[in-house]
Chains A and B, each alone.
Chain A
Amino acid sequence: MTAELHIETRKQKLVIVGNGMAPGRMLEHLFETTDQYEVTIFNAEPRVNYDRIMLSPVLSGEKSYADIIIHGEGWYEEHGVTLHQGDKITEIRRHERKVVSEKGVVAEYDNLVIATGSNPFIIPVPGHDLPGVLAYRDLDDTDGMIKAAEEGGRAVVIGGGLLGLEAAAGLKLRGMEVTVLHLMPTLMERQLDTAAGYLLQKELESRGIEVRCEANTKQILGKDKVEGVELADGTVIDASLVVMAVGIRPNVQLAQEAGLEVNRGIVTDATMKTSDPHIYSVGECVEVGGMVYGLVAPLYRMAKVAATHLAGASEAAFAHAETPTKLKVTGCDLYSVGDFAEGEGREDIVLRDAQRGTYKRVILKDNKVIGAVLYGDVADGAWYNQLLTSGEDVSEMRETLIFGQAYQGGGQADPLAAVAALPDDAEICGCNGISKGTIVQAIKDKGLTSLADVRAHTKASNSCGTCTGLVESVMGLTLGDAFKLPEAEGICGCTTHGHGFIRRMIKAKELKSIPAVMQELEWATPEGCAKCRPALNYYLVADWPGEYVDDQQSRFINERVHANIQKDGTYSVVPRMFGGITTPDELRAIADVADKYDIPTVKVTGGQRIDLLGVKKEDLIPVWADLNDAGMVSGAAYAKGLRTVKTCVGTDWCRFGTQDSTGLGIKLEKALWGAWSPAKLKLAVTGCPRNCAEATCKDIGVICVDSGYEIVYGGAAGLHIQGTTPLGKVASEDEVMETICALTQYYRETGFYLERIYKWANRIGYDHIKEVAYDDLEARKSYAERFRYSQKFAQIDPWAERVAGAEAHEFSPMATLNLEAAE
């Protein structure tokens, strides 16, 4: 009784631990409704309440600390608040309702609010405690970065999320060289899908920020201070500053030691009360409804709920809501909200505008918006978020939803946008070296209106024809409605573009990754499908040797495990035998392997190889290791690439032989193995026109004659049967090599994925191919050179790589369970 009377006559004591944005807002709400409390705040940081979000503009120089103060000294005086700056609470004595600070201050409370925020996570790699390694959390970190920037040099920012990228952009503006290291394949993967992540990366790179994705930091180098960063792959990057921005952890230590219920964060109910009825908690340190938060919008809602309960009995309860993410880097406009993962019953609407570099994706489920990712054009972010929050049925406006609120009523993505964006000197027709400007000029000057006219006057698309679609687009752009574009036929449901168009655009726009192609060519699906991904992967491998990293997940299984999957799930293994020649040692090794691994079937193939059929998946690696040890490499019997060069015995043994057909076959196979091509490629060299090696039904064949070598190509002996067509005759082995390398390269560069060489030749024209790969000595030489360059990166034995440990996940089960039989 007396206690209650006492409370009425004196103000209640409210103590707050931490003076961040959440309790600051809570007090504003509280003072609006009541002055029943005498408030004491302890803050570990030696300062008043400031806008932590605005540290990025302070870092970049757009604002100063004075600009971002929320509550100045005067505010605390006005409200009678005692603020202990730079004094940390080290203990809560719950039974006495007291807190104790580091400096020895003891404060009594009736109600306590814990608002300790979170701590930046520091990866415990060697060197993480060197001077020059900073987190990005408070004003001291920001000042430290500004100071480091004055010295110049390179900053390495570890972490490509919101904080890391804001730090990177700020440091760049301060004049540092900046490298961002990100563990994941795309930036901000929690907020953005791969397409938007790609655009963001491109934007940052255009500002001179180096971005390395899938970069795993191994250690920070330096003796007395930071000197560099070493990655797991051995790369060393010099650095005078390292910023770690890899995430935050709720700061729960104090609460935990006080015996409050703590999970990932300090657990509260929906009224923000902890497991102790006299203790509330707000901010990033809280776990409410199983969630922890790292953006201010939900923290401000917590602040309001806590304030109303502190002021008296109230119904207010905290409820989860999606918070949109934005990046505060001037000129990088992105917006994401809600759930954008793929899933059952979800529908994606994607709009890409490559010319403007924008990407919009809205995710629907049951006719309701459940998420949105916007890049470049974020004007409608708030509208989508509103549709998401309201849960409105959007089926009525489904067709036009993606164009935005203002656009209700129509509008179509412009199919010509990508071509319109090309500069005048962009090469459209590769065969004849015709630029976009030349075609436009010719159309205007000569009044051309048909494709045939354009071909006749400019030669554009007059040769291999793969650029026809592009030329038509240029005509459409120049002539407007006067030119009717033929219906485009997409390579799959994900795109309206054909193979030829895609291949030309990859070169013209220098597209070097699958997400780049999908964005720039306005793919209609986020990740493509099993039809387009392998095709794009091949085009990129063929077009950017040494630069493009083969995407294993976009390859079919046989090319991923370098063996042929059989119908019972076992594999067949074929070692390479150059030119079909083997030795007793190789044969013994093969026999030993067959015995050792119980391989049920050993067969001689049509391509003069030995096929080991029925190898268990887990035996692949040891089988390859044994074959490697005997000097054999993969026969690539599974590849869309060079398979075999078949030979006859020629002058070595045969009385009819005119040349060393076996030696030439071996030479050819040594030059060509490892090459990827649009479809499989099989060769043969035969020692005289009797044709024992069956060269005249191969993709490429050589027929030896007394005066030299006749090169033929375009044969087929599968479902379709077709004899070869002569390419030309040469006198020396060297010329054979050069011509065949040139022919193969021309096919590699202009073939459509899965198009065998005879189909390619039927499409492009045998005469034209002969011009390029045989008649025109200069063209022939340069194609052959390009082929040899590309082979530098292709002739690596995939078996040896895997025996050494590459792609190990492909070859063993993740786990083998020995469960007791279910009851």
Chain B
Amino acid sequence: MNMQTKNWIDVGSLSDIPRQGARCVKNGEMTIAIFRTADDRLFALEDKCPHKNGPLSQGIVHDGCVTCPLHNWVISLETGAAQGADEGETASFPVKLDGETVLLGL
């Protein structure tokens, strides 16, 4: 009902995710990829490239972006938007850290 309400859900701990890597959280039909950057920031995107649904969680993470493993689109981790000349956007979710615990906002 209330669009504002966020449930912060404990999905694991920071050390579960490799630096410059990602892990997936399954939420019913949807898979959400949680990325950890080299400097330990976290981002969450739907695990689906806006181009042809490539699994972004499997891509290479660099400089605040991930490169899709299927056709090399570069997606911003913060906004989910395709970079450069490509156009499209993947859903992004809030994610935060409480101590070592990773909280995903759904």
Chain A positions within 8 Å of B, measured between CB atoms, are 185, 189, 193-194, 340-344, 346, 348, 525-530, 533-534, 552-554, 556-557, 560-561, 565, 567, 569, 809, 813-817, 819, 823
A813 to B26, CA, bound (A): 7
B1 touches A823 (CB 8 A): yes
Chain B positions within 8 Å of A, measured between CB atoms, are 1, 7, 9, 11-12, 16-21, 23-28, 31, 34, 37-41, 55, 58-64, 67, 69-70, 72, 74, 76, 78-79, 102, 106
Which of B12, B41, B67 is close to A815, meaning CB atoms less than 8 Å apart?
A: B12
26 pairs of residues in contact across A and B, judged by CB atoms under 8 Å:
A194-B38, A341-B39, A342-B37, A342-B39, A344-B64, A344-B76, A344-B78, A529-B67, A530-B62, A552-B21, A553-B20, A554-B20, A554-B60, A557-B58, A565-B69, A809-B18, A813-B24, A814-B23, A816-B25, A817-B9, A817-B26, A817-B27, A817-B106, A819-B7, A819-B9, A823-B1
A814 touches B41 (CB 8 A): no
Given A341-B39, A341-B41, A565-B58, are A819 and B63 also a contact pair (CB < 8 Å)?
Answer: no
A556 touches B39 (CB 8 A): no
CB of A495 to closest CB in B, whole Å: 13
Which of A526, A814, A816 is close to B63, meaning CB atoms less than 8 Å apart?
A: A526
B60 touches A553 (CB 8 A): yes
A556 touches B18 (CB 8 A): no
B60 touches A534 (CB 8 A): yes
A742 to B88, CA, bound (A): 48
B19 touches A553 (CB 8 A): yes
A185 to B60, CA, bound (A): 18
Given A556-B69, A819-B106, are A533 and B25 also a contact pair (CB < 8 Å)?
Answer: no
A residues within 8 A CB of B102? 814
CB of B60 to closest CB in A, whole Å: 4
CB of A162 to closest CB in B, whole Å: 17
Which of B21, B28, B62, B78 is close to A533, meaning CB atoms less than 8 Å apart?
A: B62
A552 to B60, CA, bound (A): 10
Measured CB to CB, the nearest residue on chain B to A345 is B78
- Of all A-B residue pairs in the complex, the 5 with the closest CB atoms, nearest first, are A342-B64, A530-B67, A344-B78, A814-B23, A553-B20
A782 to B63, CA, bound (A): 41
A533 to B65, CA, bound (A): 14
CB of B67 to closest CB in A, whole Å: 3
Which of A193, A557, A816, A817 is close to B69, meaning CB atoms less than 8 Å apart?
A: A557
CB of A616 to closest CB in B, whole Å: 12
Given contacts A569-B55, A813-B25, 20 further A-B contacts (CB under 8 A): A185-B38, A189-B39, A340-B39, A341-B39, A341-B64, A342-B37, A343-B41, A552-B18, A552-B21, A553-B60, A813-B24, A815-B9, A815-B11, A815-B12, A815-B25, A816-B25, A816-B26, A817-B9, A817-B27, A819-B27
B23 touches A813 (CB 8 A): yes
Which of A557, A567, A823 is close to B59, meaning CB atoms less than 8 Å apart?
A: A557
Measured CB to CB, the nearest residue on chain A to B7 is A819
A809 touches B17 (CB 8 A): yes
Which of B21, B28, B64 is close to A553, meaning CB atoms less than 8 Å apart?
A: B21
A residues within 8 A CB of B25? 813-817
Measured CB to CB, the nearest residue on chain B to A552 is B18
CB of A568 to closest CB in B, whole Å: 10
A342 touches B59 (CB 8 A): no
B63 touches A530 (CB 8 A): no
A529 touches B16 (CB 8 A): no
Measured CB to CB, the nearest residue on chain A to B81 is A344
B34 touches A814 (CB 8 A): yes
CB of A614 to closest CB in B, whole Å: 16
A194 to B31, CA, bound (A): 31
A556 to B60, CA, bound (A): 7
Measured CB to CB, the nearest residue on chain B to A185 is B19
Measured CB to CB, the nearest residue on chain A to B31 is A813
Which of A552, A560, A814, A819 is close to B17, meaning CB atoms less than 8 Å apart?
A: A814
A368 to B88, CA, bound (A): 28
A814 to B16, CA, bound (A): 7
Most buried by B among A344, A561, A819: A344
